[in-house]
Amino acid sequence: MKIVILSQNANLYSTKRLVEAGEKKGHEMLVLDHTKCNLVIEKKKPGIIYKGNEITNIDGVIPRIGASVTFFGTAVVRQFEMMKVFTATESQALVRSRDKLRSLQILSRAGLGLPKTVFSNYSKEVSQIVDRVGGAPLVIKLLEGTQGLGVVLADNQNSAESILEAFNGLQARVIVQEFIKEAKGADLRAFVVDGVVVGAMKRQGKEGEFRSNLHRGGSASIIELSEEEENAALKAAKALGLGIAGVDMLQSERGPLILEVNSSPGLEGIETATGKDIANYMIRYVERNAE
């Protein structure tokens, strides 16, 4: 098979592992920088030009689209779909997952546990917003933030109101969420491929840090999910239409609470923590679905 990985950097761990896993199974693996693809829109003959060459005879695509280039990256994925090529992450699912507000609305409708969350249109009633999520401490997140950037913990009522007023003044859209104290600065990442949790890890923030992201100095260890946690991860991925997903959730007194569903989850942390060949699961997913 001929499989394309859409990635801006062929040297990234996740990209290299996917190439390695695919070649190990005898597939021809191509890494294309989606930001350098030119899309040809023609009646019943959609095409993609990359570095002067037309991309043809592709069996499957694994998108690794960065958040900063979601718009064009999604267009490239959609173009492959128009060319009747199987994509491991569908374009519409990618769009849904990148819109934090929309994804939370979808997860809520699906009946999944979530931290209490408020989104407003630069409301001046900041004290009421703080009260609606149970008061301080609380977490304030930029809608465009990734990897823990743009996430602030407000320790008390005054700081929470001041931070919200500051963001409102900058016209920066944020969501306000309750702080889950019993999580103790840790979260769970369940890696879902084709309706199965193929690996899970617990990420612990470094001392004094409430964010558990590995990019922020957190540590990861293998964990066995409870049945409730596994079901929540699978239901979240399905609700957003993602065949491949990293589902982040908190352990709380009222059960698992979904934080976010990542459509391009990194492989380094999960493979290191679990010792599993997650890249191989992804290649097998493409094999089962590509024509």
Per-residue pLDDT tens digits for 139-187: 998 877 555 567 888 999 999 999 999 988 888 888 899 999 888 889 9
State how far the Cα of 270 lies from the Cα of 264, in Å rounded to an integer: 13
Mean pLDDT, residues 101-114 taken together: 95
d(CA 38, CA 35): 8
Closest CA to 14 of 283, 223, 259, 241: 283
- Give the whole-angstrom CA distance, residue 165 versus residue 163: 5
Least trusted range by pLDDT, from 4-13, 209-218, 223-232:
209-218
Classify residue 162 by its DSSP letter.
Answer: H
Q: Output the CA–CA distances (angstroms, integers) from residue 121 to 77, 112, 164, 206, in the order listed.
A: 31, 25, 11, 34
- pLDDT value at 214 more than 70: no
Q: Residue 91 in contact with residue 81, Cβ under 8 Å?
A: yes
- Tens of pLDDT, residues 266-284: 999 999 999 999 999 999 9
Q: Is the pLDDT of residue 205 over 80?
A: no
Q: Is the pLDDT of residue 39 over 70?
A: yes
Summary mean pLDDT of the chain: 92
pLDDT computed for residue 146 by the predictor: 57
pTM to 2 decimal places? 0.90
**CB neighbour burial string for 89-102, b if at least 16 within 10 angstroms, e if fewer:** bbbebbbbbbebee
Here the tokens at position 168 are 């409102």
Find the range with the poorest average confidence among 41-50, 206-215, 265-274: 206-215
pLDDT at 108: 96
Tokens found for residue 274: 């679990």
Cα gap 231→282, rounded to integer Å: 20
pLDDT of residue 211: 59
